[in-house]
Structure 1
């Protein structure tokens, strides 16, 4: 059994870009393209992507706390305009992967780790701003679609796309179709309970995968350890990157945090595999990609221990 921890990436560089965004300036010789937005609690990325999935340009910015809802949206527009300003293309649509929960297909978002956006009409605002159709979905569902189309899940009809970052999310494709659920929130693997006596998650429950393994969860666990007087080299208010650095330097608390984080993700995947009969799991997100050396081994070990049925052991 193996888990794919490195999503497939296709990238192409362009030397110069000219803007061709306005509807009245559409020209048949310009390449049709989509504005793709990845909205996370700590970072916002925007890219212009061809219909064939080639990356034409990209921009990103940090997403620090303290902005109002409108200020945050203006920052999103700014990074989008910079990406558009670097490519010669005919913008045909806007697509967004946003942390959840949300109301689909309305595109009204309430990202758990972005409290200034509660019932924020992201789809309507983007469509108005760019004069193009806009679609908004969960970021992990977008990951699942993208990886099935062009990446590590290519050709799989039954797969889980998982994001381990500031939060933990999931997107499920079954029988070749993306699952939406009642309000577009199907696949929220981050809120499977894997440690009933574990830390409290941002959602209010105890022992969620997200509460144990996400960047925000790791930070809360460090804060709790400091409050309890635990000896550690991890500084108060540490980021996930700093916790990972401490773990690589041998800090016992940091090593324990990543061990339990990996185990939590492994248990969550084992549960999803048993429930859904999956072929492939693709894991992305900043923690998975930057700290796979710490997260991956306990994840794989716990997955082998927990996935005991023959069909769950076949997940790759």
Structure 2
């Protein structure tokens, strides 16, 4: 299937937290994001290399999880075409006034129930004097605070059925599957999709609880692998729970570190920038159940919680 290129990129995510003050501390003082306004129970945060108003909308809530993931269309015409396709597929919710910095936004769901939004109009960020960069091709000065992540890289959704939602992203939104896990019985247990030329923007992996609409993790990119090693020391000093890593995934070859932010959501630091998908006729790489069972490319064995922890938490018998 030829790339559609009607989604420019995965743009931002709204994260829910039952610990809003501690989560805000984590994302600003530990991760190095910059606050860029607030509204009601939400605070808008941005990574230093983001050109838009915000990267992360952090919202106080009774529980954890992801409320909505934002996608920017590649043009007004592309937005109109994708909205029509979403409505024809039967997953549309409707138009909304966009959050600060965003124009009209169309809200919809994937087949598993995750809420997404798509928009075109976007107000480019203009840094105040104290945050103005020396380089005019950079949106904001380097904060030199905490980990100092560069950008939001991807979102990994948990889904009761991976295939339906990923086929929706592929056929309706134009996401290109780059890698996947196929179990011996033919079931797809995980699928990685891209809208751009990096190897993935959205990931869907099977939710062992059978629940719908949950989050596995959100991921932020660093400049180098060394930044992730330095981040591990920062997390240690700040009392942030390190779940696993640094190790290297076999799938997508991502060098990674996973932590839990104070609200309970899993956050990944990753350095996948070396892998670009430039081939327009890229053939999806399929990993077998036996190959996946081998674990990481290198590093320690995958910790059990990596397969069981998701947000919001669910009560099981």
Q: After TM superposition, is the score higher than 0.5?
A: no
| Greater percentage in helix | 1
Based on CA coordinates, which of the two structures has the bigger radius of gyration?
1
Q: Aligning the two structures, in what range does the TM-score lie when normalised by the shorter sequence? A: under 0.3
What TM-score do you get using the length of structure 2 for normalisation?
0.28
